[in-house]
Amino acid sequence: MTLLSIEHLNSHFMTVDGIVRAVDDVSLEIGENETLGLVGESGCGKTVLALSLLRLLSENTKTDGRVIYKGRDLLKLNEKELRGVRGKEIAHIFQNPLSSLNPVLTVGFQISEPFLRHQGLKKSIANSRAVQMLGLVRIPSAPDRAKEYPHEFSGGMRQRAMIAMGLACSPSLIIADEPTRGLDVTIQAQIVELMKDLIKNSGASMLLITHDLSLAAQLCDKVAVMYSGEIVEYADIKEFFKGPAHPYARSFLESVPSRGMKPIRGISPSLINPPPGCRFHPRCDCSMDICKSVHPPLTEVKDGQHARCLLYA
Amino acid sequence: MTLAKSRNMDEFLKNRASVAGLIVILMLITAAILADFIAPYDTDKIALKEKLKSPSWEHPMGTDQLGRDVLSRMIYGTRTTFELSILVVALTSTFGVFIGIIAGYFRGVIDEILMRLIDVLLAFPSIILALVIIGALGPGMINTIVAISLVGWLFYARVARATTLSIREKEYIEGARAMGCSDGYICLRYVLPNCLPPIIVLMTLNLGSVILSIAALGYLGLGAQPPTPEWGSMLNEGREYLRDCPWLCVFPGLMIMLAVLAFNFIGDGLRDAIDPRQMVIK
């Protein structure tokens, strides 16, 4: 069953230098109980894609396409309907736990907010639910900790608090934007374990955004590789790690320390004037003459593995 | 929070001038509240036999041209001044912060209209604008409040807008939106508390200048009307006798200076304690 399907989504920023095509004609599907990893280098449009789904971008962004969630197009909902979806149906866990909590409200209150807003619970009940949630994300002595402010929490604890906030209303879809960013390796491992458990128990789907392939390998069922605003490869996680089809995905995998730490030459292309033809051709080892002029479509390489490359067209 | 609070408090208490200012203001407020009990004489009691007496044990600050006790009038004057200035600051800060947050949060056309309006109002020297308003409405305490408030909110609006502009880009605001909070709720629970520190500093500094404006209007005979005791109008009444009876002017003048200085010292201390950038420089 498809829970969320993104169809031909575009998110363009109108700037003085030109139109920044941060998300360009992206189509993806997330099934129920499925975790989709969205990977790619910095600045390829992963975060913008995630923010577009709940229309959290600033006013100078032009977003079109369709985002169908349970039969409704999120891009066509009015502000009030959208507020009912945000946090209740689809939760967003932000990438920077250090600055994503309001410094002047206690952590407990911030976690109880979704209960107050979406479930209309009484303050005292919402508060005890918040303490419960803190316990669920394994914060010791949760009742006392709930009364503390974000600056009294360590980075890992703040990220857990963020996760608790996201999971509060048992959403069907969790969008986790680099949930382990800025945390050290041991804490990362704890957070990953925690998220694995919570997802298994709650039965929610997740869109996991990361540039950490090992994190994707541990948590995801499917993986989509994004490059320069486009999806260049979309595959089952096992197939992907067996052998990525797209040259970029292959180089991306080889750039990981455990796989040789081979850098990809060149720099990421501008999102205002992407290279003509295949966007990866100036950096690609397999590039042919045709790559300079023809923009490749996303084609199926083998069962369930798709790549945007002329090698397979 | 307790930790941060006490650190701020320590920082504030280290500043001797601010502590002195705080003590002076607390004493003045006590005097204003307890005026009925501590003032030795009735402020309106005219005793022409006693007029223009120099300071003595009976009348520590002397008597004025109508034989009224200057000390008693000073104490009641504190009450008038504090009532007026606190009311003005409460009105202007509430309205100004409200406008500032709306302009800063929603940006766009609303912001543009409000800010240009503020620019126009700021182009006039504030005391002249106040004079014009009182000239139109007539002198009196309520009109004084109106005249000073009409200009006073501008500064709060500007500071609140600037702070809101930086806060609205913070990730926790995005987080609140992702959680499904409405704009109104975000302004109230997220933006307002986070932009309070500079507003509190501005309020204390502003109290000093409001006291000065009230005294200035009183001195010009446009503020509190006789026989209401008020520092500025007392200064004005004593002007004619400046050569022979300087105490009529010296004490109200000193009082105005003391109150304004005290508020400025508190404001400086608060700013140093609250603003982390200032601490690094030191």
Number of domain units in chain A? 1
Domain at A72, CATH number: 3.40.50.300
Chain B closest-CA separation from residue A170 CA (Å): 12
Model pLDDT for residues A203-251, shown as the tens digit of each residue = 889 999 988 888 888 889 999 999 999 999 999 999 999 889 999 999 9
Q: What confidence score (pLDDT) does residue B277 get?
A: 52
Q: What confidence score (pLDDT) does residue B165 get?
A: 94
User: B280: pLDDT confidence band, cut at 50, 70 and 90?
Assistant: very low
pTM: 0.82
* Residues of chain B positioned with their CB less than 8 A from the CB of A101: 172, 175
Model pLDDT for residues B197-226, shown as the tens digit of each residue = 889 989 998 999 999 999 999 898 888 887
Chain A closest-CA separation from residue B4 CA (Å): 9
A242 belongs to a structural domain: no
| Nearest beta carbon to residue A117 from set B4, B181, B190 | B181
Highest CATH level, class, for B65-277: mainly alpha
Q: What confidence score (pLDDT) does residue B278 get?
A: 47
Ordered by start, the domain boundaries in chain B are 65-277
* Residues of chain B positioned with their CB less than 8 A from the CB of A99: 170-172
| Nearest beta carbon to residue A114 from set B170, B172, B179 | B179
ipTM: 0.81
Decide if B180 and A96 are in contact by the 8 Å CB cutoff: no
What does the alpha-carbon distance between residue B43 and residue B38 come to, in Å, rounded to a whole number?
A: 12
What does the alpha-carbon distance between residue B203 and residue B209 come to, in Å, rounded to a whole number?
A: 10
A23 belongs to a structural domain: yes
Tokens of B229: 């005791």
Who contacts B11 (Cβ-Cβ below 8 Å, separation ≥6)?
Answer: B272, B273, B279
Are A229 and A44 within 8 A, CB to CB?
Answer: yes
Segments forming the whole domain that contains residue A70: 2-220
Decide if A92 and B178 are in contact by the 8 Å CB cutoff: yes
| Nearest beta carbon to residue A94 from set B108, B175, B180 | B175
Model pLDDT for residues B32-69, shown as the tens digit of each residue = 999 888 888 887 777 788 777 778 888 888 888 888 88
Pairing of strands A222-227, A35-39: parallel
Decide if A165 and B179 are in contact by the 8 Å CB cutoff: yes
DSSP chain B: -HHHHHHHHHHHHH-HHHHHHHHHHHHHHHHHHTHHHH-SS-TT---GGGTTPPS-SSSTT-B-TT--BHHHHHHHHHHHHHHHHHHHHHHHHHHHHHHHHHHHHH-HHHHHHHHHHHHHHHHS-HHHHHHHHHHHH-SSHHHHHHHHHHHHHHHHHHHHHHHHHHHTTSHHHHHHHHTT--HHHHIIIIIHHHTHHHHHHHHHHHHHHHHHHHHHHHHTTSSSPTTS--HHHHHHHHGGGTTT-THHHHHHHHHHHHHHHHHHHHHHHHHHHH-HHHHHH-
* Residues of chain A positioned with their CB less than 8 A from the CB of B172: 99-103
A233 belongs to a structural domain: no
* Residues of chain B positioned with their CB less than 8 A from the CB of A151: 1, 4
A61 belongs to a structural domain: yes
- Detail the DSSP E strand segments found in A167-294: 173-177, 205-210, 222-227, 230-236
Size of interface A-B (CB pairs under 8 A): 69
A92 belongs to a structural domain: yes
A188 belongs to a structural domain: yes
Model pLDDT for residues B100-135, shown as the tens digit of each residue = 999 999 988 999 999 999 999 888 888 888 888 898
Mean pLDDT confidence for A41-62: 88
- Helix H, strand E, coil C: the string for A157-203 is HHHHHHHHHHHCCCCCEEEEECCCCCCCHHHHHHHHHHHHHHHHHHC
A202 belongs to a structural domain: yes
- C-alpha distances (whole Å) from A2 to each of A5, A69, A97 are 7, 9, 30
